[in-house]
Structures are given as C-alpha cells and as structure tokens.
Structure 1
Amino acid sequence: MDISTLIDEVIAREGGYSDHPADRGGPTNMGITQAVARANGYAGPMRTLPRATAEAIYRRLYWDQPGYGFVAELAPKIAAELFDTGINMGTATASGFLQRALNALNRNQRDYADLKVDRAVGGRTLAALGAFMALRGKGGEAVLLKAIEALQGERYIALAESRPANEAFLYGWLANRIG
C-alpha cells in the first residue's frame, strides 16, 4: 500500500470545490476545508487550492502525524481505513476506533492487555495491533476492519440523528466511506 495512491483515491472521491450550505466545514476543495487550508499556510481562494498543497496536507496531517505509516507496516488495510476515517472524522476519532476495536477483540485480555483509549497511536497500540495480527493474520485484519467500520457507521447515524442537516450527507458517508 502506498500513501500516494491513498491520497489520489481520496482526492478523486472528494472531488473539487464545494460550499454546501449544510456543511459546517464551509468552502472545501479536494476534501480540504478552508480552516484546515488556512491552518496549514494556504491563504488563497479555496476554488484554486493547488493539488500539491492538498496532497501535502493529507500526507502530513492524516498519515505522518497520527502514525498511520507504522500501522501500515502491520495491517495495511487498517491503515488505509484510519487514513480515510481520519480525514472525515479526525484522526483522534479514527485512532480511538482502532483502540476500542482492539480492546473488544482481545478475548478479555488473554491475547494482549486492554489499551487506554487515548485516541493516539503509540507504542502500546502498535504492540496490541502486532499481537492481534500475529494471532489472527489477514483474516483477523478483515474482522478488525469490520469492527472499525461498524463504529464509524454508528457515528455517522448518530451525527444525522443529532443534527438533521447532516442527513444530506449520510447516504454518501455510508456509500463512500464504509466497505
């Protein structure tokens, strides 16, 4: 798995410029919100956000900083899911989903100790993921992926239930972000 390919896929899925009235993110281009672009040094119009700027933001904020490259060494499909979920929900939420799923799948700590759900991928999370993968292999990676996606789907529905304007996005979230 290659981060450049993941970035290409997310940019293709996110599309170009949008400014949907129900989207609290405001003006967005290639999935990068104006607030994120500004926080990362881009001051120009969102309609003309350079692709290279979007790529650099995706790589730095949603891959390098949360440590998903280390996850990819153990479980590439999980890393790809965390990257995508992190873009849509924040990397802390995505990392928390991984930790919660690992805790639920450790057979009452027989396989490895429960993790503190601190929503950050560190040494303990990577060790638990490594233990899980050593025990369960690629089939286990598929099950772990399903668990993470189940948490993600529940959150999307909760977002739509708590803010009816989010119903405008629910179908797309479920269709394009899960599975």
Structure 2
Amino acid sequence: MFTNPVINNILEKEGAYVNHADDLGGETCWGITEKVARKHGYVGEMKNLSKEEAYRILEDDYWRAPGFDKVHDLAPILALELCDTGTNIGTGISIRWLQRWLNAYNNQQKYYPDIIVDGIIGSKTLSSLENFLKKRQPHGENVLIRSLNCSQGHYYLELAEKRVQNESFIYGWMAHRVTMI
C-alpha cells in the first residue's frame, strides 16, 4: 500500500497525532487536519486516524489532484518539494510559486512563453517546466527547488510576524520544511 516514496516521506516528517494550542488548524494526525479528514468521511477521533487513511488522503489531495505526479515524471525531487510544501501550506500556493519562478527564469520569454499564475498544473506549466529543465540542465531542478524554498521561508517569516503564536512553529518549519531534499 505505501508505495509512493513522496507520501511516505511526508508521513514520516509529519508524525502521528498533534494538538498544539497555537495551531489554527487544530488537531492533526499524520499531517491531516480534522477539516480535511472529515471532508473524506472520517468520523472518529483524530488521534485514531490510521496511517493508511492518511496515506490515501495525502495521495489523493496532495499528490494526484494538484498534478504533482505529472511533475514527478519530469523532476522527481521537485515533485517531492511541491507536495511537501503543498501539504504544509496548500497546493495552490506551492504551484503559484513554481509558476512565478518559471516565468522569472524564462529570460524575457526567449526560452518559453510566460504562463498564467493560477495555481493549476496544466499543459503550459508542464511544458514550461520541461523547457526550463532542458535549458538549465544539469542544475536547473536544484536551483528551482532552492528558489521555491526562498519563497517558502519568506512565507513562514511573514506568518510569524503577523501572528506571534506562529513563533511556536517557525523554527521547525525552517529546519524541516525549507531544505534541499
């Protein structure tokens, strides 16, 4: 059942049940918030959410639905970064960062046309990614991951500055989420 190494990595990073008073998301288990679990029909106590159920939810909502499985075909490590970030702060955010960075790296549209920053991985985003990787090989994937991490770190800093309770989490976010995988 646990055949997707990306989802396995996220499950390992998230750990099991957490109910931190400063977390606006409330109870989570294996990185799944109560709201998301209920959307998937889970009715039990969050601390009893099975790893198998969490795996299914993560793979459905945070891997296939946003299209990170398609990114994986082009850039496996990038797909892991996008999925991990998407699990933590939302898939639309991580996709928009990817699209923004691809636009910034297209050399004034000489390498490929700008894409709409809409938070959706469609054929144009995938085509731009493929062109970027061809043009920027062999280091393009790593540079793109580093770029996404810059955006992610900035996002976390703003969260902590806007809400003091988020200082409870920022060190862990930076230590475990903003890394070269």
TM-score (structure 2 length as normaliser):
0.95
Misfit runs of 4+, over 3 Å: none
Alignment of 1:89-168 (within 5 A): 89-168=89-168
1:3·1:59 contact (CA, 8 Å) conserved in 2? no
CA offsets 1:42-94 (integer angstroms, 9 cap, x no match): 11110110111100000000000001111011111111100000000100001
Secondary structure of residue in 1 paired with 2:17? coil
Secondary structure of residue in 2 paired with 1:137? coil
Identical aligned pairs, as a percentage? 43
Aligned AA for 1:128?
S
Alpha-carbon distance between aligned partners in 2 of 1:112 and 1:172, rounded to the nearest angstrom: 37
Aligned length: 178
Deviation at 1:3, TM superposition (A): 6.4
Deviation at 1:176, TM superposition (A): 0.2
Alpha-carbon distance between aligned partners in 2 of 1:50 and 1:15, rounded to the nearest angstrom: 12
Q: Give me the CA root mean square deviation.
A: 1.2
TM-score (structure 1 length as normaliser):
0.96
Structure 1 residues not aligned, in runs of 5+: none
Deviation at 1:138, TM superposition (A): 3.3
Change (3 A) 1:83 1:3: farther
Deviation at 1:136, TM superposition (A): 1.2
1:97·1:148 contact (CA, 8 Å) conserved in 2? yes
